[in-house]
Amino acid sequence: MDAAATTADLLAALAPSWSAAVVLASYLAYLAAAGALLPGKLVAGAVLPDSSRLHYRCNGLLSLLLLLGLSALGVYMGWMTPTVVADRGLELLSTTLIFSVIVSFLLYYTGLRSRHQSSSLKPHATGSFIEDWWFGVQLNPHFMGVDLKFFFIRAGMMAWLFINLSLLAKSYLAGSVNRAVILYQFFCGWYIIDYFIHEEFMTSTWDIIAERLGFMLVFGDLVFIPFTFTIQGWWLLRNKVELPLLASVANCIIFLIGYLVFRGANKQKHLFKKDPKAPIWGKPPKVVGGKLLVPGYWGIARHCNYLGDLLLALSFSLPCGASSVIPYFYPTYLLILLIWRERRDEARCSEKYKDIWAEYCKLVPWRILPYVY
């Protein structure tokens, strides 16, 4: 009887609601308006196959800070509670999932009807509905002047932070804030804010340059990032974890190493793409075939940034202790995803660079983790 009642309560909580739809619509409308109106650095994207370049207004940090300020004002004035997002977590999950499915169908339909010949808008249909709907038809579709791919990534990253802050408020009101909660919140908050400080680096990543926009990215950005990357926060809300001091220090070291590798590798790649002669670790860069960077982090492993990302993901879960595998869903999923993505990237680079890639692989034999893989 208790199990049946629990299941019924869970299904009821998962039911989408109009109030959740209003929260989601208001959030996305704010991001669209802030992205268009707030000042920000205009960054040129990577050169596309037709030699064109998109430009991105990187004002995500300002948009985030303004939204945090408006939210704080709303809480202070009594217009909203600090736990509003966490209180409606499952409603928002199902509502956002439905929205993602609808958007993906619209992207598929409008993409097939596109007559544009530019690299960003030209349809790349395979003829398979599942594949085209899943991976997308267009590289960089727009809606009312908004680059949807860049927009959805920004929305997912900010939502991750706001769900965490709402969970922190619930923990504070319940009197359950401890070292484990503080470490988890600090690590995630640092990572997210740092992402927006260096938002322009996103313009040179695989997602922006190579992936088409379909259900895989829409769901990943709007649903998967905010609602699964916060599993640790939900776990800590319902499970008290007493983290020893030594374990906390080790956790901080893992986070720091992961951050330095992840941010350092992505920064080197971004700077190299802007200026191939820019020094790496104080020395002129060694380049294979005039295109592939060998020194720095990229001389350690061909996908060294993935190693940093995996260490960061692990550091987000370690504050939850070792009593359950549930908080370790994120690093486990990320490991599988990045190995799959690394394989796809290797095949793409081998086809694109041919002998140059083979030479680079000889110089840098390790894929992600030196001496292991």
Whether the per-residue pLDDT at 11 is higher than 70: the answer is no
Looking at the structure, do residues 238 and 336 belong to the same domain, yes or no?
A: no
Of the candidate ranges 113-117, 168-172, 336-340, the one whose mean pLDDT is the lowest: 113-117
The secondary structure of the chain, three-state, reads CHHHHHHHHHHHHHCCCHHHHHHHHHHHHHHHHHHHHCCCEEEECCCCCCCCCCEEEECHHHHHHHHHHHHHHHHHCCCCCCCHHHHCHHHHHHHHHHHHHHHHHHHHHHHHHCCCCCCCCCCCCCCCHHHHHHHCCCCCCEECCEEHHHHHHHHHHHHHHHHHHHHHHHHHHHCCCCHHHHHHHHHHHHHHHHHHHCHHHHHHCHHHHCCCCCHHHHHHHHHHHHHHCCHHHHHHHHCCCCCCHHHHHHHHHHHHHHHHHHHHHHHHHHHHHHCCCCCECCECCCEECCCEECCHHHHCCCCHHHHHHHHHHHHHHHHHCCCCCHHHHHHHHHHHHHHHHHHHHHHHHHHHHCHHHHHHHHHCCCCCCCCCC
Looking at the structure, do residues 194 and 292 belong to the same domain, yes or no?
A: no
- Indicate the residue among 182, 217, 242 that finishes a domain: 242
pLDDT digits 0-9 by tens, 294-336: 878 888 898 889 999 999 999 999 999 989 999 999 999 999 9
Whether 6 is in a domain gets the answer: no
- State mean pLDDT over 49-61: 87
Looking at the structure, do residues 230 and 290 belong to the same domain, yes or no?
A: no
Looking at the structure, do residues 91 and 199 belong to the same domain, yes or no?
A: yes
Looking at the structure, do residues 256 and 116 belong to the same domain, yes or no?
A: no
- State mean pLDDT over 146-158: 94
Looking at the structure, do residues 221 and 256 belong to the same domain, yes or no?
A: no
Looking at the structure, do residues 236 and 297 belong to the same domain, yes or no?
A: no
Residue where the block lists tokens 């965490």: 164
Give the per-residue pLDDT at 1.
46
Give the per-residue pLDDT at 351.
84
Whether the per-residue pLDDT at 6 is higher than 60: the answer is no
- State mean pLDDT over 114-130: 85
- The pTM score is 0.86
Looking at the structure, do residues 163 and 283 belong to the same domain, yes or no?
A: no
The domain in which residue 222 lies consists of 11-242
Whether 5 is in a domain gets the answer: no
- Indicate the residue among 185, 208, 242 that finishes a domain: 242
Whether 233 is in a domain gets the answer: yes
Structural domain tally of the chain?
2
Whether 90 is in a domain gets the answer: yes
Whether 4 is in a domain gets the answer: no
Tokens representing residue 263 in the block:
């941010």
Whether the per-residue pLDDT at 274 is higher than 90: the answer is no
- Indicate the residue among 184, 217, 242 that finishes a domain: 242
Looking at the structure, do residues 217 and 171 belong to the same domain, yes or no?
A: yes
Looking at the structure, do residues 116 and 260 belong to the same domain, yes or no?
A: no
Looking at the structure, do residues 96 and 209 belong to the same domain, yes or no?
A: yes
Tokens representing residue 280 in the block:
């790496």
Whether 1 is in a domain gets the answer: no
- State mean pLDDT over 252-281: 86
Looking at the structure, do residues 63 and 102 belong to the same domain, yes or no?
A: yes
